[in-house]
Structure formats: structure tokens, C-alpha cells
Amino acid sequence: MGKTVEYRVHAVDVAGNISPVSASAEAVRPAAAPVSAPQPVTVTPRDSATFLEWAFPHTDAWHFLVYRRTDPNGAWTLLNDDAIGANRFQDSTAPRGVAYYYVASVDSAGADSAPSPTAMVDRITPATPESPQAPVVSLKAPYSECTSNDCAGHGGIGQPVTLTMSRPAGDDRVIGGYLWHITGDDTGYHQTPDTTVTWMPWRRGLYVAVVATVDVYGRVGLSARVIYQVA
């Protein structure tokens, strides 16, 4: 049997005056379906989505609905109109900041179970399908980037190469750092949260520095490259 809930409302004007209470209105909250709620529910923020995962309950519930709210006392929003049969969900519309989630099992009649325990996540950025833009990369003197007309050698063995990374004009996205590597350097890829990296050339010749932006949750975006010659 469902539970009857009574509601009454006050109106408040712009001066803060409160009206008399309205007449009461009743609503019947449906009783929870007799299937078990999934638990626990874990949430993990990523750049493209907030990922939810849960254990299958030990009942005949094999379909689930996912709910979210951003106000701890606000209304819940259903995120998937069609119940899913998997024990995971990607919230690709996850907002920046704190959000709360619960998952309900669905019985054969389409009714929700009691809610799972609430899971909370605090996102640094909203979910986005777009990878980060490539950084702007420059070389510190004495080295300079090769052009179609000039690729003269500069510096030399034992003289460090410093790369400086910056964001493209108008790009205020929160990032986690940069992934970089130098062709001819067998130490592979390196990641740094800093805006500069220093590397020591071990031979003369042509080098290519490739630098990609890394989003705040670890997705590697577009890359830029700088070609230079060590004298």
C-alpha cells in the first residue's frame, strides 16, 4: 500500500510577507516494489561522464533506473527513461559541483524498488564530450623552432632544452597537465602538471617535441609539436 502525503503552501511576496496557508492537497506515494535495491553504488568522475556502478541485488531484479539531484533536499531527476539491464551507467550530463545519485531496481511490472543508498560526487568540471585543445608550445633560447626557411642548429649537447606550454586564447578549461615526449629519447612519455619541461639532448641533430593537453580527470587531448635542431 502506498503512503499518503499531505501538502500545504504559503505564498511570499517581494517584501517577505507570508500569506495564510493554502488548503491542503494530498498525494499518494506508490509503495516500493518488493525487489531489492542495488548496493553499494559507486560513482567515479571522468572527463566525459560520471561513471556509476553497482552490484546486482540477490533477487529477480535485472533492470535499473538512475536518479540524480544537485540539491541535497531537492527533487530527484530520472536520468534514463528506459530501464537498463547492466550494472553500470554513464552520466554524460553530469554538472560541475556536488551531485547525489541513487539507483532503483525495477520489477516486472515496471515499479521502482526502494532507493539504494545515496552516493555523492563533487566534480571539478562538468562532463564534456570534447577533448582538451592542443597547447601552445614554445622553446626557450638558445633553441628556436624550425621553419620552412630556417632550421639551423642552436645550443648543443649538454645544454638543456626548455619547452613552455600555454592554453590557446580564450580557453579557460581546467586541465590536469601535459603529456610530452621527444623523438629520439628512449625514456618514452612523461606527464607533468607544470607549464614548463626541461630536457637534456644527448646528440646533435633534429628533434621533434610532441605535447598533448591532459584533462583534469586524465583524458589525453589534442597535441602540438615543435621541431628544432641541436647544434
Output the pLDDT for position 27.
Answer: 40
Smallest CA-to-CA distance from 68 within 119, 23, 128, 29 is with 119
How far, in Å, CA of 39 to CA of 167, rounded? 42
Q: What is the pTM of this model?
A: 0.76
DSSP β-ladder status, 77-78 and 88-91: unpaired
Confidence band, pLDDT 50/70/90 cuts, at residue 95: very high
Query: What's the Cα-to-Cα distance from 119 to each of 16, 32, 60, 156, rounded to whole Å?
Result: 36, 20, 23, 56
pLDDT greater than 60 at residue 208 = yes
Fold of 20-123: Immunoglobulin-like (2.60.40)
Smallest CA-to-CA distance from 121 within 191, 165, 169, 70 is with 70
pLDDT greater than 80 at residue 187 = no
How far, in Å, CA of 68 to CA of 76, rounded? 5
Q: Average pLDDT, whole number, for the chain?
A: 88
pLDDT greater than 50 at residue 4 = no
Same fold across 20-123 and 136-230 = yes
Average pLDDT value for residue range 17-28: 62
Smallest CA-to-CA distance from 201 within 225, 226, 184, 224 is with 184
Average pLDDT value for residue range 110-115: 88
pLDDT greater than 60 at residue 5 = no
Query: What's the Cα-to-Cα distance from 114 to each of 32, 35, 103, 174, rounded to whole Å?
Result: 5, 8, 9, 38
Fold of 136-230: Immunoglobulin-like (2.60.40)
Map out the domains of the chain as residue ranges: 20-123, 136-230
Beta bridge partners of 100: 69, 120
How far, in Å, CA of 76 to CA of 82, rounded? 16
pLDDT greater than 50 at residue 26 = no
